[in-house]
Structures are given as structure tokens and as C-alpha cells.
A and B are shown apart, each in its own frame.
Chain A
Amino acid sequence: MSVVFVGPILFALAFVIHWIVWQIRRPQATGQALIFLLTATVFGGAAVLWLCGRAEPGLARFLPGDAGAWAQTIAFGLAISAAYVLTYPAIEVESPIMVIIDLIQRSGPGGLERSELYRRLDDDFLVTPRINDLVNEGLAVDGDNGCRLTEKGKSLGRIFIVWRKILGAGIGG
């Protein structure tokens, strides 16, 4: 049963460290920082537990027993971490759907005019900050001739274009 408990414990440790770092100073490129932090903590935490198990046999019976079980434990911790990393943008950035729902809920039983949503959720709120995110994450540059993708941005853009073609889906947004 150790695998099913130790994996989530490694993620919980990684989350605590993430919380501590975010209290000190939130990094600029939060996505990349989060991936590095969670991955390093899961692996580091597993290494520390393994060493503790070797030093203290009483503890070892609560830990994975062989290389395969350790690999499964780390994979489970990383899987939960990856799920959190994918969720994090919705936490950090205002999700338009959640803002719309919140505004409608706050307007009371009479509801909200659609035109009021257009007025409050304008380009400065919904689009400009996301363009700035692309620049801050090194995916685009904004120069005198306008915005252009970096090589990193072009690669990521291509991945999404190809994926949407595989699905047979149109442009999203």
C-alpha cells in the first residue's frame, strides 16, 4: 500500500515548498518555475525517504520495497504534480468563464445585461495581459514591427496547430 500513499505525500511536500516560495516572491515565468520546483521536490523527497529507509529499518516497511515500486511511487507523485501544473494557469490567471459566472452571480436574481459583460471584460482585461504573458515566458517578442514569435513560441504554436489538425478541430479560443 506504500505506493498509493508515498506518491501523494511527495506531491504534498512539493506543494508546501511551492507555497513557501510563492510567499517569498512569485517568479516571473511561473510555469517553468513550477515545473522545476515540483519535479525537483518529488525526486529529492524520494531520495531522502530512500536514504531514511536505509538508515532506519523500522521506517523501511512503510516505504516502497523495490526499484519498480519506487519508480511507480515517483511516477505517481509526478503525475499529480503535472495535473497541478496544468491547473495552475486557471488559478493564477482570471479564467473568463469564471469571471463571467462570478459577475452574473454577484448581480443578483435579476441577472446581468450582456452589454455589461462586454463593458467590463474588454481587451485590456482579457487579451493584453495574455500577450504580455507570451512575451514574459519568452514565446514572443514585441518590437517596433509588432509581435513576433520566438523559436520556442514557433515550436509550441506548431504543436498546437498540428494537434488541432489531427483532431480535425477548427481554431479555438
Chain B
Amino acid sequence: MLSEFWWFPVVAVACVGDVVMQIAWFRCFPRGGVYRSMAAGFIAGAVLLIAASLAWRDQPVGAHLADFGMYVCFAYIYFHWNNMGETGRRVRLLIELANAPEGLTRRQLLAHYSAREIVDRRIGRLLESNQVVASGSRLLLGNPSVLAMTRMVGMVKRILRIESVFVR
């Protein structure tokens, strides 16, 4: 009966490997940034998944593909978890309020975390990854991959009929 659940430890080992490698990489190479550490974690977890799957190679191919699918979903979720901590506005507001148990007025909250900081951080990231290039004080599009993602999100917004600033 327990052998029917062989897939669980295979996926679990891969997921744990992803997290451990990501934390270790970021701690050892913080200047590389969170995203590079997540790539290292993903590769480490994938290697562990393949290695652990070899012990169960008599199982159907479809089951191994499902394991890989689950691992990719986990890696994606873990990416979003870290991305929320890195860029999430609500997370930042939560942390600001958590550090001020007596509470903050809206004005005080905006003094701690304002639109200006949000825009500056994002422009910084876009310039660093060449998604945007600067020409004097003007910003121009560079690498179009984020634009492609923007279009995809716009399409899903249309399907779900969610209002958007940028749905045409």
C-alpha cells in the first residue's frame, strides 16, 4: 500500500533540495540577487528529482511526468513566495505595520513607503535586466520579455473581465 505513494518522497526531496540550495546560494552570493539563487535552487531540485526517480523507474512514464509537473509548480510557487517578499507592496506594508505595533496613520505609512520608492525600485530592476534602457532622462523599451508577459496578463484580464489600466 505504501509503495503506491512512492511519488511523494520523490517530489518532497526535490522541493526541499530547491529550498535548501536557494537559501544557501543567496547567503553565499547575496550580490547575485534573489532570482539567480532561485535558478540555482531549481536546478538542484531538478537533479534530485531525476536521481530519486531512478529508484522508481519501473513506474509509468506518466507518473514521472506528473512528478516533474508538481515540482515545476512548487518551484513556481516558491519563486512567487520569494518575489512577494522582494517586490510585494502588500508584504512591505504588512512589514511596516508589523514593525509599528502602536499603528501608523496613512500619512505615516506613506512616508515609510511611497509611490516614488516603488517606481524607483522598479525602474532600477528594469534597467539592470535591460528590459528598459535610459537615454538621458527618457526611458525606452529594451528586451521585450516583460512586455510579452504584460500582454498575456492583459489577455487573462479580458477573459476574467477584470478592469485594467492597460487592457485595450
Contacts and interface: CB of A to CB of B under 8 A. Distances in A.
A166 B26 CA distance: 10
B94 A134 contact: yes
Interface in B116-158: 116-119, 121-123, 125-126, 131-132, 135, 137-141, 146-147, 149-150, 153, 156-157
A168 B165 contact: no
A interface, over-half SS: helix
Interface residues of B, number: 87
Contacts, number: 257
Interface of A: 1-5, 7-8, 19, 22-23, 26, 66-69, 71-73, 75-76, 79-80, 82-83, 86-87, 90-92, 94-102, 104-105, 109-115, 117-118, 121-123, 125-128, 130-131, 133-134, 139-140, 142-143, 145-149, 153-154, 156-158, 160-161, 163-164, 166-169, 171-173
Interface of B: 1, 3-8, 11, 23, 26-27, 30, 34, 60-63, 65-67, 69-70, 73-74, 76-77, 80-82, 84-95, 97-99, 101-106, 108-110, 113-119, 121-123, 125-126, 131-132, 135, 137-141, 146-147, 149-150, 153, 156-157, 159-162, 164-166
Contact of A161 (B70, B98, B106, B160): B98
A130 B30 CA distance: 29
A89 B98 CA distance: 22
Given A121-B119, A157-B98, A167-B26, A115 B76 contact: no
A67 B104 CA distance: 52
A77 to B, nearest CB: 10
Contact of A68 (B4, B119, B122): B4
Contact of A4 (B4, B65, B125): B65
Contacts of B86: 169, 172
